[in-house]
Amino acid sequence: MEQVINYLKSNFETYLEELKNYIRIPSISTLETHKDKMVECADFVAKQFEAAGMEKVKIYPTQRHPLVYGEWLKQPGKPTVLIYGHYDVQPVDPLELWHNDPFEPRIEDGKIYARGANDNKGQNFVHLKAVEAFMKTTGSLPVNVKFLFEGEEEIGSANLAKFLKTEQELLKCDCIMISDTSMYAPNVPTITYGLRGLLYMEVEVTAADRDLHSGSFGGAVANPINELSKMIAKLHDKNGKVTIPNFYKDIPLPTKQERENFKKLKFSDKAYAKALGVKELQGEKGFTTLERLWVRPTLDCNGIVGGFTEKGAKTVLPSKALAKISMRLVPNQDPEKIAKDFAKFFKSISPKSVTTDVRKLHYGSPAVAPLNSKGINAAASALLKAFGKKAVFTREGGSIPIVVDLMKQLKAPAVLMGLGLDSDNIHSPNEHFRLENFEKGLYSAAYFLDDLSKQ
Ligand code: BES
Ligand code: MN
């Protein structure tokens, strides 16, 4: 083991340079214009799998972006871990707020700044290099490993979900390792056991069949922006509860044990508000901040467009207004059912003076992983060695849509060993990843394989 860790240590600078090359490929999955970049990135990943000593490395084309698979199965009798990662990233807008080109990584203050530096290239890279270090130093691995990286996590993983249905034999494993979540705080190693789900909708409100002069027509016909705003406002009540019928039906309350565990984390509302630059926190009444983030569902408008938005003034009654509305879901909320309930409710609060179109963009189910699996035990012991501290157990407000499908279809527990921080600006300008977490992540990933073989 010492040999492997020393190897990782002495190759840190090389790995950092390789990570930069991975990041330089602008693999933005949602943009049609970046399709060839996705292919290029899948290729890069396949080469990394090969460098890590994987066999049967294969790029599986899908209806949208390719999946990359590789395996090394030469430890019969030992557990098999499926290491999942995603090579796609989010768009970079607003570009003007970045201090460097988002795809030309910058190192400053012990952090690497770039789109994907954390989510998820930096985090999945530690597993590639840990495996590579074992192969280069010992010529083998302590357990069986399967790598599966996809290019559609940020857009809902629809094609991986399909692939999973037919490839259970190929992907068969004893546990699923994922580093794509946050640590509770700097230098607090963390194992996450719950993720929220997500349902993403789009609503479009149309009034007149063209834009109109707001003087000649204002007062006579509906303004879709005004009406859309009123409708959005009706989606919450005064206690911060979502008003869609049946939205909270069957949601389990946090258990007593969970409430106590959350308390132990000593979360400070004041420090949190300060770190985010808000005067006060806000949300559903009757729940603590950690409960609101981790065990309660939410609804948010993510974007709204319509009318004149350039500099200056234009007097116009726009014909259309559009909003992107997403919901974070918790266990027992069925995304498909909620999509229907949302559409019905949204149409019911739409006035006759406009036409309202409701579309479902994508969704992913919430996931809660068992707390007592061999994988979790191995991760806990690995984190202790790498960080010199005991791991805390958290849930997470974000989503990784495929986790539930992976656990169900492969009948294996997930282990979420995140290395990011909530303050790393993922999905936002100046996304970064701490080099310290990259380094300790490399060690954690290596110890994990060794500890899993001893469970
Ligand atoms: N790595 C994130 C999940 C995450 C978010 C972990 C926040 C920790 C903190 C993942 O890549 C992600 O962004 N997921 C999307 C999924 C969605 C687009 C289907 C999300 O949560 O918005
Ligand atoms: Mn993401």
pLDDT by residue (tens digit) across 319-357?
999 999 999 999 999 999 999 999 999 999 999 999 999
Residue partners of 378: CB distance under 8 A and separation at least 6:
415, 448, 451, 452, 454, 455
Give pLDDT tens digits for 57-87. Answer: 999 999 999 999 999 999 999 999 999 999 9
Q: Is the CB of 29 under 6 A from ligand 1?
A: no
Domains and CATH numbers, the chain: 2-195+366-452 (3.40.630.10), 197-251+297-364 (3.30.70.360)
Q: How far apart are CA 14 and CA 50, in angstroms?
A: 17
pLDDT of residue 166: 96
Q: How far does residue 90's CA lie from ligand 1's centre (Å)?
A: 10
pLDDT of residue 253: 92
Q: Give the three-state DSSP class for 174.
A: coil
Give 276-322 pLDDT, tens digit per residue: 999 999 999 999 999 999 999 999 999 999 999 999 999 999 999 99
Which pLDDT band holds residue 170 (cuts at 50, 70, 90)? Answer: very high
CB atoms within 10 A of CB 314: 11
Classify burial at 139, counting beta carbons within 10 Å of its beta carbon; exposed 0-12, middle 13-18, buried 19 or more. exposed
Residue 398 CB–ligand 1 contact under 6 Å: yes
Average pLDDT over residues 224-235: 98
Q: How far apart are CA 423 and CA 439, in angstroms?
A: 18
Per-residue pLDDT band at 233 (split at 50, 70, 90) = very high
- The closest alpha carbon to 228, from 355, 316, 341, 344, belongs to 355
Q: What percent of the chain has pLDDT over 70?
A: 100
- Average of per-residue pLDDT across 262-287: 96
Residue range 241-260, pLDDT digits in tens: 999 999 999 999 998 989 99
> Is the CB of residue 120 below 6 angstroms from any atom belonging to ligand 1?
yes
* Arithmetic mean of pLDDT, 145-153: 98
Residue 404 CA to ligand 1 center (angstroms) comes to 14
Per-residue pLDDT, 443: 98
Ligand 1 mean position to 315 CA, how many Å? 39
Which atom of ligand 1 is least distant from the CA of 401? 19
State how far the Cα of 180 lies from the Cα of 330, in Å rounded to an integer. 19
Whether 333 is in the pocket of ligand 1, judged by its Cβ within 6 Å, is: no
Separation between Cα atoms, residue 286 and residue 133, nearest integer Å? 49
Q: Which ligand is nearest to the CA of 160?
A: 1
Q: Can you give the pLDDT at residue 14? A: 98
Q: What is the mean pLDDT of residues 107-130?
A: 98
> Could you tell me if the CB of 421 is within 6 A of ligand 1?
no
Indicate which ligand has the atom closest to the C-alpha of 327.
1
State the average pLDDT for the chain: 97
Q: Is 120 exposed, middle or buried (0-12, 13-18, 19+ CB in 10 A)?
A: buried
Phi, psi of 367 (to 5 degrees): -140, 135
Amino acid at site 300? D
| Residue of the CA atom closest to atom 1 of ligand 1 | 180
> Tell me, what's the pLDDT at 391?
97
The residue-averaged pLDDT of 368-396 equals: 96
pTM for the model stands at 0.93
